[in-house]
Structure 1
């Protein structure tokens, strides 16, 4: 039976000793679930069972570096799933100045893992709960689904849903464009493999594989949207949550991506017609250092485009989003999307453009807001609902003048205020902020559960028809 640890001793009646044995207590606190590659032992955290660091693909090392994700070979016995796996190799985030720093925790070996949170009672009896698969942002060059920023326990309990977060390959390991060696949108292929794992295994965690919401923020929003419209994965997605998607940043043109790859190989000193062997033998630190150098050389004032990101026509990105929406690729899916009030301040907070508020506002509208309006308007014309929000809560104090900057809603979605102790974008947290988190997280969890962000205790939220229908989250009032 899914969710039952067959290694646990059967409970028996006892005369005169009502206490449970240590083995039985461990079974209560450390639930075990069988997956297609082996059993995993999680932890009980309040009313939620958590399973972290579950491999969904083989380690991308050796011959599997710069190769599509391969099926994990599996394991014998019961794998400990108490802790998240390492992050994918990466350099420092461009947004550390506003989100707070992270201690590097990456390792190429074992980085393709995911994490599952499920209401504890769902493990027994095949509950068939809706599932939210949420992808982190980070400009396709940083981040990790295992970080405490994105802990899914609160959302799982709030919406009675199963929450999944995952790592995917980043930077040159995920988005170097060398199709001749098999390297093309590898990070996107990893994300597709996550959905495949969910389809095969989530029932064992109490989830319904036919009720999956693909969600994410920034690069993760772009990824979730792409998974929902790609013919290879669209049938695995029923709903989409897209937070601060960079809609004004289209996928790279293949010719441009190929030129970037040539410059990257030049920095590494790799020549010849088959760069694969050399790329697979170099220390990963060399690959990351060359990526940072290339990014610095190509940096342009006002641009937020990473040096490597998904390529149009490659795996996971067959069509531009505008064409896909117009062609009806999302017609059978529920959609919720939105932005923060001051997206671009995060990218210019400490640079010379920091005082240029109007310039940042215009850039933010072009990169983030216009796409939201275009998608929601197209849906309205097609007679299809789209729920749109704008997150406007500002930190106090706000010495950098960030306002409601890019990523500002993340602590409120996941309810992870304590995970951001040094984040200028958050500032001081008061009881009103906790109420705002319940309203925002509750609405998005309700959407993942039912396709509507409305429900008991939640303020009414109408589908988008005009800008007046945009739901603002910026006060303590739900």
Structure 2
């Protein structure tokens, strides 16, 4: 047993060997009742010792759509007090670097309590590690128009980061050496936070895995989506009406909205969501986000924050291989997607065949979508920062498992167990199979620890000339401007 005093009261944690673990720590009041749809409210202090042995409640979510629900680990812990965080520390009396993890899940799913995100290996290597739960879906990212609050999920993340600044010293962390880390929607959240003036001073470094600063909505797009969701529910487009709808019904209707956007991806109706295909994203509301994040970063926002950013080689195969779509999609689908992304279809097909002359239309569409969703936004963020001298490092995760007959590739989420050095999690088996290479985990996990410790993961910074990129695989090495012709294809389009 180990005790720590925070600003709100004392916590009773557990010892796991040499590591102290504290779970379910509230950083804001429960977002229910009068607090629902408000910015995060202060925690009510407690007397005595608060037990911190178990994960607290997680934000309400619906299931991932099939077959992702069998492939992506998820945890559902009911309860109202779900604005909480978890901490692993090797030395509560130390002064160590801190990493704060923001989970992914398309802004509708996920939690910081998934066993894969256990921070023990980071603590083993001298880092105080924190995972965070934040509001999702309607409660976190609904926006109904002028006068309505926006970005509650981002405000939750900021509240958690402020809590870390005020309390992490008690857990052995250095508030001046905080690195925020996120994957997918978590990384896209960080891309937004890099552009948010309110985030200034809350973190010194940032790691963005498979997400950058392009996935946001204009207020008009967010309003159109919110009002359509209200129509699906048969309610007026007001917060009061949404608050009266049972969560299960909210979740089902949000999935209906996602399907409706995907079935008819018309920009005139859905704005940015017509190509993003997610019904909830951060909103450029003019308050928390004065500008689209990539524009703010290009203008110099967060130039003093060190950034490590990267993507996986085959991100989009997660969505095409398990569903069978990789083989079902033909040349018309490929060309329609290229045109939808603003490219000349003939030029796009030629560029992607140049990389793999035997690629099927589905395989090329996967590569095309991987670049649009993930790789090009990461490159644009790195380019924007390079213009202002911000320290920026680029990586690509290229290891391909044998699962799905070797066709799943270095797909979305595949890098996470290597970053955490948690290769023994049985939940990984359906997606990644067995025999995950420890050598790769040593390389990636070690680079993340080094970056959090001194701002240098172990290779040269990214610039617009060499475009140095660390390629992580069973044998990891840097590459210069990988797939340059495909990158150049997107100039002026993404």
User: What TM-score do you get using the length of structure 2 for normalisation?
Assistant: 0.82
Distance 1:102 1:86, change over 3 A: farther
In 2, the alpha carbon distance for the partners of 1:400 and 1:91 equals: 30
**Deviation at residue 243 of structure 1 after TM alignment:** 0.6
Relative distance call for 1:245 and 1:299 in structure 2 (3 A) is same
**Aligned pairs for 1:17-416 within 5 A:** 30-94=1-65, 97=68, 100=71, 102=73, 105-107=76-78, 109-119=80-90, 122-124=91-93, 127-158=94-125, 160-178=126-144, 182-247=148-213, 249-271=214-236, 275-300=238-263, 303-313=275-285, 316-351=288-323, 353-355=325-327, 356-399=362-405, 401-416=407-422
Cα offset, 1:31, TM superposition:
0.8
Cα 1:154–1:95 change in 2 (3 A) is farther
DSSP-derived class of the 2:412 partner: coil
Give the secondary-structure state (helix, strand or coil) at the position aligned to 1:130.
Answer: strand
Kept in 2, the 8 Å contact 1:55–1:72? The answer is yes
Match of 2:439 among 432, 435, 438: 435
Higher relative CO (CA 8 A, sep ≥ 6), structure 1 or 2? Answer: 1
Whole-angstrom CA distance in 2 between matches of 1:130 and 1:297: 44
Deviation at 1:360, TM superposition (A): 0.9
Q: Report how far residue 208 of structure 1 moved.
A: 1.2
- Call closer, same or farther: CA 1:352–1:382 in 2, change over 3 Å: same
1:171 is displaced (CA, Å) by 0.8
In 2: Cα distance, 1:383 partner to 1:53 partner: 39
SS in 1 for 2:431: coil
Deviations 1:84-134 (A, max 9, x none): 112211111248538725565143501111011111xx212xx22111111
Unaligned runs of 5+ in 2: 266-273, 328-361, 478-494
Distance in structure 2 (CA, Å) of the matches to 1:140 and 1:70: 21
Counterpart of 1:445 in structure 2 is 449
Contact 1:95 1:347 in 2 (8 A): no
Query: For residues 65 and 471 of structure 1, do their structure 2 counterparts lie closer, same or farther at Cα, with a shift above 3 Å needed?
Result: same
Distance (whole Å) between structure 2 residues aligned to residue 366 and residue 263 of structure 1: 26
Provide Cα deviations, 1:60-101, integer angstroms capped at 9, x if missing partner: 111212221111112221111111112211111248538725
Q: Is the 8 A contact 1:99 1:423 kept in 2?
A: no
**Distance change >3 Å, CA 108–CA 96, structure 1 → 2:** farther
Task: Report the equivalent of 1:470.
Answer: 469
List per-residue Cα deviations over 1:13-68 (Å, max 9, x = no partner). xxxxxxxxxxxxxxxxx111111111111111122111111011111111212221
Q: CA deviation at 1:425?
A: 3.4
Q: What SS does the corresponding residue of 1:421 show, helix, strand or coil?
A: helix
1: distance between equivalents of 2:390 and 2:374? 21
Equivalent pairs counted in the alignment come to 433
Name the CA distance, whole Å, in 1 between partners of 2:3 and 2:375: 44
Q: CA deviation at 1:156?
A: 2.1
- C-alpha RMSD of matched pairs (Å): 2.3
Question: Displacement of 1:193 after TM fit?
Answer: 0.6
1:476 CA displacement: 5.2
Following TM superposition, by how much is the alpha carbon of 1:400 offset from its aligned partner in structure 2, in angstroms? 6.5
- The offset of 1:250, in angstroms, is 3.1
Aligned to 2:99, the other structure's residue is in SS state strand
The two structures have a TM-score, normalised by structure 1, of 0.85
